[in-house]
């Protein structure tokens, strides 16, 4: 009888230990999931960025325009994000200086203040971020979108018009289309400051149109058509940005 009681007591103790271990495991799993959820919630989900240098010299319609750019990046998953960009384009300092120093313009009584350059740019892209293999959310090196290395297909369309302010019916229209594949690295400094650098290449189609009243024609200038900047179909991207994550 005593041996049976001892056996029963041992069985009860084993069951109790097993239940405690199970509850402890569930508690640990719940805690780990809670920490994971808290970490994911704390990570920035959006970035607003710009490139201050583009205000002096646009990388798109170069030499002619200043570009006031705002790009929004919105996280769609641990490894991906959607980018939308909108820019206003005005007359750049290089074009303004060229007009002001041109002898024929001076003789005609014109300067850069008599001309208007205005336009816009639209960008659409999608980023695919690389997560380090074997690095999970609980690891200190875990950096999901929108930070780390990425590849980035992008579409861009720019349009600007240049004309004598008092004679808008006669003007030049500059249109740039391009599609490119880029790679880069975006990182966070502190809690909100973001830096981004990237390079890439793709296809571009640049056009300069002459508009005279209701008539529109392609501008024929061998120097422009043969130049790499305007005539070549190869698009090269080298860029950087600074922004705020939230």
Q: Is 8 exposed, middle or buried (0-12, 13-18, 19+ CB in 10 A)?
A: exposed
Angle at 6 between CA 4 and CA 8, to 5 degrees: 70
pLDDT tens for each residue of 190-203? 999 999 999 999 99
pLDDT at 69 over 90: yes
Do 78 and 131 contact (CB within 8 A), yes or no? yes
Work out the burial of residue 154: count CB atoms within 10 Å of its CB; fewer than 13 is exposed, 13-18 middle, 19 or more buried: buried
Render pLDDT for 123-146 as a digit per residue (tens, 0 to 9): 999 999 998 655 555 555 567 889
Mean confidence (pLDDT) of the chain: 84
Residues 92 and 165 reside in one and the same domain: yes
Nearest to 154 by CA among 123, 185, 186: 123
pLDDT tens column, 31-55: 444 555 555 567 899 999 999 999 9
201 and 180 in one domain?
Answer: yes
Q: Are residues 69 and 17 in the same domain?
A: no
Partners of residue 177 on adjacent β-strands: 157, 205
Residues 151 and 207 in one domain: yes
Q: How many domains does the chain have?
A: 2
| Confidence check: pLDDT of 18 > 90 | no
Omega of the bond prior to 146 within 30 degrees of 0, cis? Answer: yes
Q: Which domain holds residue 28?
A: 10-39
């Amino acid at each position: 009888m005593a041996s049976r009681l001892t056996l029963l007591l041992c069985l009860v103790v084993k069951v109790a230990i097993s239940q405690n271990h199970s509850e402890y495991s569930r508690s640990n799993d719940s805690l780990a999931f809670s920490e994971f959820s808290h970490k994911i919630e704390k990570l920035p989900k959006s970035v607003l960025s710009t490139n201050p240098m583009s205000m002096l010299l646009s990388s798109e319609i170069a030499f002619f325009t200043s570009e006031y750019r705002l790009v929004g990046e919105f996280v769609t998953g641990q490894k991906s994000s959607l980018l939308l960009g909108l820019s206003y384009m005005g007359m750049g300092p290089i074009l303004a200086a060229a007009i002001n120093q041109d002898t024929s313009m001076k003789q005609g009584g014109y300067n850069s203040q008599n001309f208007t350059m205005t336009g816009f740019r639209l960008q659409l892209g999608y980023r695919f971020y690389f997560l380090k293999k074997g690095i999970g959310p609980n690891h200190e090196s875990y950096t999901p979108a929108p930070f780390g290395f990425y590849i980035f297909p992008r579409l861009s369309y720019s349009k600007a018009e240049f004309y004598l302010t008092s004679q808008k019916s006669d003007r030049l229209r500059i249109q740039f289309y391009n599609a490119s594949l880029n790679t880069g690295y975006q990182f966070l400094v502190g809690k909100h400051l973001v830096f981004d650098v990237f390079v890439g290449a793709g296809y571009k189609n640049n056009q300069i149109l002459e508009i005279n009243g209701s008539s529109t024609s392609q501008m024929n200038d061998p120097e422009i058509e043969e130049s790499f900047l305007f005539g070549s179909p190869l698009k090269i991207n080298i860029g950087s940005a600074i922004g705020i994550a939230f």
